[in-house]
Structures are given as structure tokens and as C-alpha cells.
Structure 1
Amino acid sequence: MLLFSCSSVLKSSPCLHPPSSFLILPEIKTCKTIRDLQQLHAQKIKTGRIRDPFIAAEILKFCALSDHHRNLRYARMVFYQMEEPNCFSWNTIIRAFSESDEPFEALVIYHRMLCDESAKPNHYTFPPVLKACARVTGIEEGKQIHGQIIKRGLDCDGFVRSNLVRMYVFCGVMDDAHRLFNRSVESDDAWSDDVREGNVVLWNVVIDGYIRLGATEDARRLFDKMPQRSLVSWNGMIAGYAQNGFFKEALEIFHEMQMANVQPNYVTLVSILPAISRLGALDMGKWVHAFAEKNKIEVDDVLGSALIDMYSKCGSIDKALQVFRGLPQRNSVTWSTIIGGLAMHGQAKDALDHFLQMELAGVMPSDVAFIGVLSACSHAGLVDEARSYWNKMTRVYGLRPRIEHYGCMVDLFGRAGLLQEAEELVLNMPMKPDDVIWKALLGACRIHGNVEMGECVAKRLMELAPHDGGCYVLLSNMYASLGRWEAVAEVRLMMKEMDIRKDPGCSWIEIDGMIHEFLVEDDSHPRAKEIRSMLEEMADRSRSVGYAPDTTQVLLNIDEEERESVLYYHSEKIAIAFGLISTSPATTLRVAKNLRMCGDCHSSMKLISKLYNRRIIVRDRNRFHHFENGLCSCMDYW
């Protein structure tokens, strides 16, 4: 005899289960596998007890929601054989599918429930239904279900409302999400402690919604208003800033987190490392690594790859190799990361050696690994080797080249002066070339002085991305390098009329854990006077040993003296001057730059490294340059 109706049982237990169920079916505790359950199921069918809705519900729950023995195919069969499934059974099967790889099936079953007279949806039905809507981004279905929730008077239920907010967030409808969120926050004082704690999760969900849309300012405003923050709140903001390109802001909030005495965890470290990588903040990266070791945070393949990438992009490839060699297990991601790091540093032979080691270790190369290999070949001018790896990728491993692979090959052919071959590859690609590929070809035309092809490429680029300043700048620079100043003026006028601005040269250097940023001809730093004095000293010492500025790198129609002056104040030279006055002798200087280094800066850095006995590492838009004792690791092929 049943003591509780379906609805009263569900309302009394947040786990969706009748408290008397284990008294009804204690044998289910002994089931260790789905086969054990099938035997029990067969026994209940044979004795006729399967008609008891709670016994059937127990069997359904085991195969639908068990962590280790979930079998939705069997659960579906059990459910559809139930004569009159109760509300608990409907909720169980809906929840199971909402958490599965078939979330839309949960909505189909919910529709059938609405058509069934034996059970009505309750406040435990709607959270998984809304979760299914969120997973399939079914906003229209979600709005209809929202109407049904209001009709049943369940829109004031805290858990239902939380899932409504989540559904709108995941569907990208932030206005409705925020409106519901505000109602939830306003009623927060009337909630229990457990629900109020859950409301912190709700704040995190809405913040994450803004981050997904790239609205980081809205996310930050909401974050600043939070009455209390969880570790997830901090991690969400750090990851959001990093993913949306606000790397300095990611570091700033990471520092705020530490000031608030919130202990970083594994997720925090994985989230902050990409921002550290992009800024070249090696000291901060070392701190993160040391923190992980001190607090016994496992450096697995994910964190290990992030550390390898960080050390590589911060100019310490030796440390990246050390982390790689210390990993307990290596997979295709970790191998690809170290290969890409070595390629970035111009160590082509080591990159190709690691690719061979990966093959010998029995690890299947990914398409990302081949991007690293082809990039290494490009930086070293290994044309024949690149062709060989391209064939291996497609014919041996059956990998389909992505646009990034084509970009590597176009860059390779362009650097090597094989412009016709590069153009043919672009025109015969199976996908539409993007602006990156066309820019690589246009840059090669500029380097090798092929104006005719360059003008054709520039025209295509302008059609593809008419408001992208990079194309106009490359075309203008090509004309300027050939002394065609009228053509330069025409391009510059076109840019002015279309309000297209050139990205200014920008360089970063980390000193004592702080990132210092410099623009071209920057005079805003507190130590600007000392920096200017050091720049003059660098220029005087360079001239004293016979150095003459390469004024052909100044792509402006000005007199020779002005050209020399412009060269002195390129952003990377300002960063190096600041590094020289801010660090002790023999300290390695590491600079990151947003653009490709010009030829004069490259020559200057070689000489400065020798004159000041400094190792200088510069990461420009394309690769790393290691300057030491008057030489560069790129061997002047860049």
C-alpha cells in the first residue's frame, strides 16, 4: 500500500526519490552491473511486481542515472514498457536525456508527458527540461516552457527560476536573463542559506553569459556588485578576460584575487597562463609554476601544455623543454605544444627531431603537430622538407589540411621567393583563403619587390576585408620601399577617407614582475628622460663602431635626418633602453612586440647585444629572435 502520492513524495525530497523506495526494492543495492539489473528486472516481470510504479521507477533510475552503469537505451525500453509511469519516472527519464548526448530527446519526452493524463509536470520536471533547451540552444522551446511555468505558478520557485536564467544565458538572450536574475537577487533575503549559496552560482552563470558574448565590461560590472564570490567567480573573470584578448586585465584580476586571500586552484592556473603567455610575463609564469609545485597541484597534460606554451611564448624554450621532459605522460597535445614552441624559436632541427620522437613513441600526430612542423620549415627555409611533411600528413596519416596548414605553406614559399608557387597554392585551395593567407602573400610580394602580383593580391584583400588596415599598410609599405611616393600618398588618402588607422608599434617588457608597455616614439613613461638618454647612448655607441641606420626601413617621404630620428624611437628600442637602465649587467632582456620587427631594429639588436654584453630575446608577430654577441638565432632569415 502506497503511503504518499507521487507529487507529495517529489516535493518532500530534493533527490527526486520516494523515501520508502529501498524498503520496496532492497535488492537493487546488490546490482553491480547492468547485467545484474537485467536479471532483477526479469524477476520482477516474471512475478508481476514490475507493475508496481515504484519498483519500475527504481529500475529505471538505476539504468538512467547511475554514474557507472548508465544505459539510456535500456532505460528508454524500461520507461516505455511502464503501464502508467508516475511523475517521478517521467522526471527521471527527462533528466537522464537532458544530461546525455541526446538532449533534444528530453524535450520530446516532455511533450509526451504533457499529452499524458496520468502525471503532470512539477517543479522537479522543469530544471532538466530547461537544461535540455539550453544545451540545444532552443530559445523558442524555452520561451514556450517559460510560459507553462508561469501558468503553473512555478516561476517563483528559486530552483526553477535559476534554470530559466541559465537557459536564457546559454541561448544568448541576456536581456531576459538579466531581468529574471534581478528578480532572483531582489528576493534573495527571503531564501534559505542553501538557496542563497546557490544564488552565487546564478551570479556566475549570468557573468559567464556576458563573457560568452564578449561583453566583458558588463561581466565586470556584475562581478564587482557580487555580495559574495566563489572561486568559480574569480576563475570565470580571469578566463573571460584572457579568452577575449584582455590579457592585462586578466593579470590584474588575478592579482586582486590574491589580495582577497583566495587560493588559486588548478582551473585558475590553466586560465591565467594564456594571458601570461601573450604578455610575455615570464616572472609571473615562473611564480604560477612554483605555486603549482608548492601546493601539489598536478601538472597533467592540460596544465603541462599550458606551462610549455607559456615558457615558449615568454622566451624560455629551455624551461619549456624541461617541463615537457618532466611530464609523467605525453599525449598528442603536449607533443604538438613543444614542437610549436621550438618552431617559434627558430629551432627547426629540434622541432623535426621531436616530431620523429613522437612517431617513435607511437603517438598519432595531430593536425596541430603538423602546423608546428610546417612553421618550423618556413622559418628555416626548408622547402623540400615541408613538401615531404605535407605529403606525409595527407597520404600517410590521412589528415585533411586546414587553412592554417595552407597558411604555413604560403608563408614558406613566399619567404623563399617562390611567389608563383605560393599564388598557385592560394588559388587552388579547397576552401576560401582568409585575410591571413592573402597578407602572407602580399608581405612576400613586398619583400621580393613583385609589385604587379602585390597589387592584385591587395585588391583581393580589400574586397575581402575593406576596413582592415593591415592590407593598406602592406601595400603602402611596398610602394614606399620602391620610392613610389605618389602611390603611397594615394593609399594613405584612401585610408583617411575610410577612417582606417594603422596599428601603432607596441612593445612590452617585464621588469620585477611588472609589465611596461611602450608605443613608437612613446614619451609617457615616468622614466622617459632616462630612457631618452639611454637611446641616445645606444645610438652613439653604435655609430662609434661603424653602424649606419638603415633608413630604407622608414617608409615615409621625409629627409634623411628625420628618418634616422624615427628609427631611434621604435617601440622595441625604447623597451630595450628601459631594460638596460632597470636591470643589472648581464641580465637577459625579453621583449614582446605586436608587429614584425623591421630590418634596422634587427641589425641594431645584434649590435646592442654585443656592445652591452646582453642576451636579448624579442618576440615579434611571427617568431622569436635570440640576440647574443652580435648574432641572431634566425641567421638573418626571417
Structure 2
Amino acid sequence: MRHLTQVHAHFIKTAQIHDPLAAAEILRFCSLSDRRDLYYARKVFNQMREPNCFSYNTLIRAFSESNDDEALHALLLFYQMICDGFVLPNKYTFPSVLKACAKLGKLLEGKQVHGLIVKFGFVYDEFVVSNLVRMFVMCGEMDDAHILFYKNIVEFGNGSKLVGDKRRQEGNIVLWNVMIDGYVEIGKFRASRDLFDKMPQRSVASWNVMISGYAQNGKFREAIEMFHEMQMGDVRPNYVTLVSVLPAISRLGALELGKWVHLYAEKNEIEIDDVLGSALIDMYSKCGSIEKAVQVFERIPKLNTITWSTMIGGFAMHGRAKDALDCFTRMEKAGVKPSDVVYIGILSACSHAGLVEDGRFFFNHMVNVVGLEPRMEHYGCMVDLLGRAGLLEEAEELISNMPFQPDDVIWKALLGACKMHDNIEMGKRVAKVLMDLAPQDSGAYVGLSNMYASSGNWEGVAEVRLKMKQMDIRKDPGCSWIELDGMIHEFLVEDDSHPKAKEIHSMLEEISEELKLLGYRPKTTQVLLNMDEEEKESTLHYHSEKIAIAFGLISTNPETTLRIVKNLRMCEDCHSSIKLISKVYKRRIIVRDRKRFHHFENGSCSCMDYW
């Protein structure tokens, strides 16, 4: 801009500023370049004697691509253009105006612009129509978007009249993508998938919209299935595809597929920068391969707060508190200022390892030294840390002194600690708060019921269960899954639906006999139902993670590492059993439950029985 002002001054002194082309180039630089200055651009525009359509379009586009306040200026400038009447808008004017309407959610103004598009005869320009449809989509008017979309698709015969015009064919694909994205945004996945299947031609963006939409809305299996379909077709995954699918792979623990994505990126020379690198670190961490996560981390050329926090979080979930703390020290030495997300990882690491004093230090350091305001997640980590350590009163006091209302996650952490340390009285009080806070959430009812069951208060259990039945509240069933040869196998409690159910059952019986020979007896106190001991032993026998492990044992070669993902926290009996299974069958077994990772090997667990 310093150089531009000198050129601008020269143009004024030599009267060349009156040349429309010279003035337009000055305007274009200060409007659209990386060194843009919109305030200066507006002053240049205002001094133009007769700004042409190109100049109007340049400034409108600049305003529409800026923040919300500036986007409003795009609409005001367009209004000025229409009212003056000296310069008529062209097909390059309307996309930017519609973009401003979409960004600001100005539906009424967008409809007025639609009328002008019809009036000026641009209703058949694919680029204009695509932006018009996008405006309706972003303003939540899917019915209007749907009508406009089908009107254009039918009139163009799915693009048949446009064959031979590459730009128009590409515009037609964009129109389809906009509609699919709109349905994804409002959660209508059936409609988006139906539209996707009808597409006459798909771009990589079409696949990316579906994959990222599924992944961001918790439909992880569908995201991975879509990714598999993409691999079978003609369109090759790109950088955005990999970043979109990795979170779904992470959640399902599909390590082999994650490795394939990593290899694909390297073979196709897709840059593993801080964003893709962080996604790979997160994937390897959540799929149980923390060693590979470290390898990716060390190879990223430029580390930032996101990559550091992802690595620290990975160490935390694997119970490697020392590594997490060392990583934090390295980050500070590298001159990277820790974010609030980094402190969530550090506090979580302290919680999983029982490092109470370290946790207190880092919490105070974050507030008093770095000057960050604690979020709900930071308080949640501290409550979990204090609760696990048995400091229930201190944890409750911390909650009462929070500057905002605690959420259900924090109260659940305290309720879990009450069960862990058999504090029934506090547990009742906390459960009552939770029931008032989230009356339809099963967490409080199940937690209270489990505490009653642990103390043998079956009347209390029956009372809580009856209340759940009356309110139609259902507990999430235990579910575990294992990936073998790229396929994910899912098991529920007492599941016999798998094609190899008979072999799995035989393996479970064998495991039970082997553990008995070692003197192991099931921990029937973990069965929180009023039944006899034999029935309790049978129930423990068929927990979902044990079924998944049995399937893994019969389906893999000796000494192969088994990786299991479970949706709930692992019970004490399963934890003790899997330690012995790892010793008897000489297997490394990695289990990711709702809280953290457990690495079982040769009869011991990485958590050192503190989880």
C-alpha cells in the first residue's frame, strides 16, 4: 500500500488518474490484493468521475468477501448503482451481491436481487444461478432453492444443452453441489444422498460435501462408506477429502484405513501441513497407535498451537502424562504460546495419572500467568482430577465457585467420583441436580442406580429403574467394535448376531476356563442387577469388549495386536480379565473406552489400575 500511494500520487500529479483504466487498476489493487485497504479503496472509488461497471463490481466483490460489516457496504453500493442508473449491472455483479446477502442472511434483499436478475436477463447464467441457489440455501429457504434448482435442471435437461461448453458444465456441477450442501447443513441426509446419486457428473467437491457432512454430524460409518465408494470411482481424493474423512476414521478406530490415507497423501505428494498433520496425529492417537502419532508430529515442518495441542491431547488419552508435560515444556521453549485447548490436554493428562499438584499448578498458571479465562472444559478436568483422587468436597466447592453455571458433564464427573469412592450421600445430591438439569439424560439415573446396586440397596435400584421406565429414559447399550482387514465388526452385550457367533461363543468359553485355571473369579459386584451369582457371572462373560476380543483372537494370527473401541467406560471385571487374557494368549490388547486408552500387555495395563 505504501508503494501504491506513491503511484496514485504520481497519477494525480500527471492527470493520468482521469484515465478510467488507470483509476480502475488503482482500485483493484487496494480492493482485492493481499495488501488490500477497503477504506482507501472506497475513497478512490468516490473520487472517480464516472465509475464504470468494472469498478462497481470490483468494490462490491471486495466488500462481499470481507467481514459482515463490510458485506453490508456491498449491498449499499449495489443499491447506489441501481438508483443512479448510469451504470447497469452485468453477470459479474450479481454473484458478489448474492454472496453478501447470503453472508448477512438478508433473505428479503436476496429475493429483490432475484427479481433484478430476472429483469436483466441473467436467469440462465449458471454462475449467477448457482449463487442465487446458494443464497437461498444459506438463508434457510430450501424450498425456494429446491424450486429454482429443479427449474434450471429441467430446462437445461440435466446439462444436455450445455455439452461442449466446459465452463457451463462445471457451473452445473456447482449448482448440484450447492443443493447437496444445503440439505446436509439442515440434516436432511436422505435428500442429500438422493440428489448425490442422481448427479449426472460429480466433482471431487461433490464427494467432499457428503463425506464431511456425514463426519461432522456423527455419521462416521456413512462417511467411511462414502469414502470407499469414492475410491472405486474416477474421482481421486484430494487434500480436503483426507482432512474430512480422518475424523470419522478416528472415531471408529479404523487404523488400517487411517494408514492407507497417510500413505496415499505421501504417494500423491499431498502436503502434510499443520492441518492435515494434526488430523493424522489425532487419528493415530485415537486409533491406539501413539507411536505413529509421534512420528507424524516430528515430521511436520512448521508446528503451531493446534499441532502441539493435538499431540499433548494424544499423550493425555493414552495416560502418558510425563510425555504430555515434556511436550508442553518443548512447546514453551519453541516460543509457541499455549492456547486454552493446550491446557485442556495438560489437565486431562494430570487427571488420568492422578497428578493433583501438577493439575493445580497448571490451572493456576493458565489463569494467573498466561491470563486465559478458564472454560467449562478446564473446570471439568479439574473436577475429574480432584474427584478421582477422592477430594470430593474440594471438587464440589470448585463447582460452586465457578463463574458460570456448570453443565451436565461436570456434574457427571463428580457423580462418577462419588460412585468410585462410595459416597452415597453426595451422590444422591449430585444425581438430583443432574436430573433437574437434564431430565431426559440417562446418566444421572444410571449413576444413582449403580451406586445403590453397589451398596446392595435393591429397593433404591428398583425405584430409579421404575422412574426411568415411566419417563421413557433408556440407557445406552454397551457396544464395542474391532477393525479387521479394513472392515469394522460391531458387537453389543450378549450379541449372537455375528456370522461367527458359534466360534466366538466357543472362544469365550475357552477364555473363561483359562482364567479359572489362573484362579480368577469374576467380579460379580460389577453386575448391577439383582440376580444370583451364576447369572451374574454369565452376564459378565458376554460384555461387548470381551466378545470383540474373542472374535479378534479367532480371526488373527498369534501375537497380532488387537485394538478395541468401546462406547462406554470399561467395568472393573473386564479390566481385570483383559489383563490376564493378554498374558495367557501373549497378545497386546489396546482398548479405547469413553474415558481413555488402556494398553494391556503381559498381564498389566498402562493405566496402572488408575482410571
TM-score normalised by the chain length of structure 1? 0.92
| More displaced stretch, 211-220 vs 332-341 | 211-220
Deviation at 1:112, TM superposition (A): 2.2
Deviation at 1:48, TM superposition (A): 4.4
SS in 2 for 1:592: strand
CA distance in 2, matches of 1:171, 1:605: 53
Contact persistence 2:184–2:192 (CA under 8 A): yes
CA distance in 2, matches of 1:154, 1:292: 42
Q: 2:161 — aligned with what?
A: 190
Match of 1:89 among 40, 43, 55: 55
Match of 1:135 among 103, 128, 132: 103
Q: 1:146 — aligned with what?
A: 114
Q: 2:460 — aligned with what?
A: 487
Q: 1:164 — aligned with what?
A: 132
Q: 1:590 — aligned with what?
A: 563
Give me the identity figure in percent.
70
SS in 1 for 2:195: helix
Deviation at 1:54, TM superposition (A): 4.6
SS in 2 for 1:509: strand
Deviation at 1:153, TM superposition (A): 4.5
Q: 1:105 — aligned with what?
A: 73
CA distance in 2, matches of 1:310, 1:55: 52
Q: 2:193 — aligned with what?
A: 220
Root mean square deviation of aligned Cα: 1.7
CA distance in 2, matches of 1:141, 1:55: 33
Match of 1:59 among 26, 33, 46: 26
Match of 1:501 among 464, 474, 487: 474
SS in 2 for 1:220: helix
Counting matched residue pairs gives 604
CA distance in 2, matches of 1:630, 1:291: 37
Deviation at 1:458, TM superposition (A): 1.6
Match of 1:249 among 185, 202, 222: 222
Contact persistence 1:63–1:74 (CA under 8 A): yes
| More displaced stretch, 562-571 vs 78-87 | 78-87
> For structure 1, which runs of at least 5 residues remain unmatched after alignment?
1-33
CA distance in 2, matches of 1:494, 1:150: 60
Deviation at 1:42, TM superposition (A): 3.1
> For structure 2, which runs of at least 5 residues remain unmatched after alignment?
none
Query: Following superposition of structure 1 onto structure 2, how do residues 377-416 of structure 1 map, counting pairs within 5 Å?
Result: 377-416=350-389
Q: 1:22 — aligned with what?
A: none
Q: 1:15 — aligned with what?
A: none
CA distance in 2, matches of 1:153, 1:201: 21
Q: 1:317 — aligned with what?
A: 290
CA distance in 1, matches of 2:198, 2:11: 56
Q: 1:332 — aligned with what?
A: 305
- In 2 relative to 1, CA 131–528 (structure 1 residues): closer, same or farther, beyond 3 Å? same
Deviation at 1:47, TM superposition (A): 4.8
Alignment partner of 1:80 is 2:53: no
Match of 1:527 among 489, 493, 500: 500
Alignment partner of 1:118 is 2:86: yes
Deviation at 1:200, TM superposition (A): 0.5
CA distance in 1, matches of 2:230, 2:253: 21
TM-score normalised by the chain length of structure 2? 0.95
- In 2 relative to 1, CA 117–297 (structure 1 residues): closer, same or farther, beyond 3 Å? closer
Deviation at 1:172, TM superposition (A): 2.5
SS in 2 for 1:455: helix
CA distance in 1, matches of 2:80, 2:365: 53
Amino acid at match of 1:190: K
Q: 1:424 — aligned with what?
A: 397
Q: 1:180 — aligned with what?
A: 148
CA distance in 1, matches of 2:174, 2:238: 18
| More displaced stretch, 107-116 vs 612-621 | 107-116
Q: 1:18 — aligned with what?
A: none
Deviation at 1:386, TM superposition (A): 0.3
Deviation at 1:379, TM superposition (A): 0.5
Which digits, 9 at most, give the CA deviation of each residue in 1:221-240, with x for residues without a partner?
11111111111111221111
- In 2 relative to 1, CA 332–524 (structure 1 residues): closer, same or farther, beyond 3 Å? same
Contact persistence 1:85–1:118 (CA under 8 A): no
- In 2 relative to 1, CA 49–588 (structure 1 residues): closer, same or farther, beyond 3 Å? closer
SS in 1 for 2:36: coil
Contact persistence 2:130–2:178 (CA under 8 A): no
Amino acid at match of 2:102: A
CA distance in 2, matches of 1:293, 1:62: 37
CA distance in 2, matches of 1:290, 1:176: 44
Alignment partner of 1:229 is 2:202: yes
Contact persistence 1:304–1:324 (CA under 8 A): yes
SS in 2 for 1:625: strand
SS in 2 for 1:194: helix
Deviation at 1:337, TM superposition (A): 0.9
Contact persistence 2:138–2:182 (CA under 8 A): yes
Contact persistence 1:169–1:206 (CA under 8 A): yes
SS in 1 for 2:608: coil
Which digits, 9 at most, give the CA deviation of each residue in 1:29-83, with x for residues without a partner?
xxxxx44543443344345454454543343223223x34433222100111123
